[in-house]
Structure 1
Amino acid sequence: MVLPAFLLFFIFHTYPALQGIFYSFTNFRGYGDWNFVGFFNYINVFQDGRAMSAYVFTFQFAIVSTILVNIFSLLVAIGLNSKIKFRKTLRATYFLPFILSVLIVSYIFQFMFAHMLPQFGQAFGIDFLSRNILGDQNLAWLGIVTVAVWQSTAFNTLLYLAGLSTVDDQVYEAADIDGANSWAKFWRLTFPLIAPFFTINMVVAMKNFLMAFDQIIALTGGGPGRATESISLLIYRGGFEGGQFAYQSANAVLYFIIIVAISVIQLRILERREVK
């Protein structure tokens, strides 16, 4: 029973990955003849200014988005976990953004940034909102962060809710007897007890944001200019549209190694904190 699933996974995942690694050592353009060039493509990635700019933007976007999404999702989870009315209804409502198509959501936000917000800003005299921030090289990335955080908060909130459900109410009762305030209960009790869920959220969120593609292609297309061009978008455009299949395959291999290394480092650091 496992064999069909294994074959499908190998054909559509493992084999293309191995093929990409193979072509990364060639000068293959995606068509025509090719020759082996060794590590030439890998060396060129480090000398490519466009690639370096894409790496800087991607890491900037991923770090800011990861921090924000975990702050917001933890706050929402704590609020939904408290004894308020319509908790179940609110949980379902907050999870809706996650099940919506990323592209559709991004196109809706693109319309809002381009038309609705500028009209609102002009009507109320707010200079910051009076123009389309997606057309500003210095502000376009903030629009992408807004969409990514808004949609990703739902999934992280669900994980934090699962973590909060494992905390025994007797722990808080004992803290109340000792006279602990809300912040002390959160920092000394809640956060340490849900540390494993914090670790999962940080690693998963960082990995997903490092691979950002849909939001960027729908909101800015990598622009203005190349101000919001991520690594995933660069690999796609160069590999499938620019005749750089082998070169961008090498870029993809390097990026895969970087993502794995970052995930491992995050796990090691955060798991040590769990022990403390």
Structure 2
Amino acid sequence: MVLPAFVLFFVLHTIPVLQGIFFSLTDSPGYGAWKFIGLSNYAALFSDPRVVDAYLFTFKFAAVTTVLVNVIGLLIALGLNARIRLKNTLRGVYFIPYVLALLVIGYVFSYMLNQSLPTIGRALGIEALSSSLLADPDRAWLGIVVMTVWQGAAFTIIIYLAGLQTVPADLHEAASIDGAGPWRRFWSITLPMIWGFFTINVVLALKNFLQVFDQIIAMTGGGPGTSTESIGVLIYRGGFEGGEYGYQLANAVVFMIVIVAFAFFQLRVLRREEVSA
């Protein structure tokens, strides 16, 4: 029963990965003749300022977005877990952004930030909002962060809600009787008991945001200039549009190693904290 799945995985995943690693050692433009050049592509990556800038932007974007998504998701989940009216309806409403296509959401936010928000800013006399946020090289990434957090928080909310359901209400009642306030109960009871869910959310969020692509394509295209060019966008543009197929495959291999390393490091640290808690 395992054999069909293994064959499909090997043919559709393992073989393409091995081919990609092989062609990363060539000067292939993606078509026509090519020759083997060894590790030259990998050596060139570390001295390419565009690659370095793309990595720095991606790390900054992923770090900020991961923190915001988890903080906002946990706060909303705590609110939904409380005894409020229309709780089940609100859970469905908050999950809607996650099922929408990223490109569609990106185009909607692009219109809002390029057209609607500047119009409102000019009408209110707010100079900071009177021009397009996405046209400013220093602020364009903030617009992408806002859109990504709005869309990505939905998934973290569902995971945190599942975790909060595992916290016995008796513990909170006993702590309240002993005089513990809401903040103390959260740090001493709730957070340690949902730490495993926190680990899942942080690892998955950072992995997904390091691979940011659709949002940037829809909202800025990597611009203005290359100010919002992520690693994924750089690999796509250079590999499929710029004749750098072998070079960007080397970039993709390095990027894959970076993502795996981040995931292992996070799991190691967060699970250690989970055991301590």
TM-score (norm 2): 0.98
Q: How far did residue 21 of structure 1 move?
A: 0.5
Distance 1:234 1:10 in 2: 27
Deviations 1:130-180 (A, max 9, x none): 111100000000000001110000001100001000000001011111111
Which moved further from structure 2: 69-78 or 115-124?
Answer: 115-124
Instruction: Determine the structure 1 residue equivalent to 2:83.
Output: 83
Q: Deviations over 1:49-91 (max 9, x none)?
A: 0000000100000000000000000000000000001110000
Residue correspondence of structure 1 range 1-276 to structure 2 within 5 A: 1-276=1-276
Give the letter aligned to residue 138 of structure 1: D
Gaps of 5+ in 2: none
Q: Distance in 2 between matches of 1:175 and 1:207?
A: 37
1:3, distance to aligned residue in structure 2 (A): 3.5
Q: Distance in 1 between matches of 2:253 and 2:117?
A: 40
Amino acid at match of 1:228: T
Unaligned regions of 5+ residues in structure 1, if any? none
Q: C-alpha offsets along residues 96-154 of structure 1, whole Å, 9 cap, x if unaligned? A: 00000000000000000011111111111222221111000000000000011100000
Amino acid at match of 2:18: L
Counterpart amino acid of residue 235 in structure 1: I
Structure 1 counterpart of 2:254, one-letter code: L
Identity %: 56
C-alpha distance in 1 between matches for 2:73 and 2:129: 26
Amino acid corresponding to residue 127 of structure 2 in structure 1: D
Aligned with 2:53: secondary structure? helix
Measure how far apart 1:6 and its partner are: 3.0
CA distance in 1, matches of 2:113, 2:16: 38
Segment drifting more, 190-199 vs 4-13: 4-13
Q: CA deviation at 1:16?
A: 1.3
- How much does 1:8 deviate? 2.9
- Tell me, what secondary structure is at the counterpart of 1:29? coil
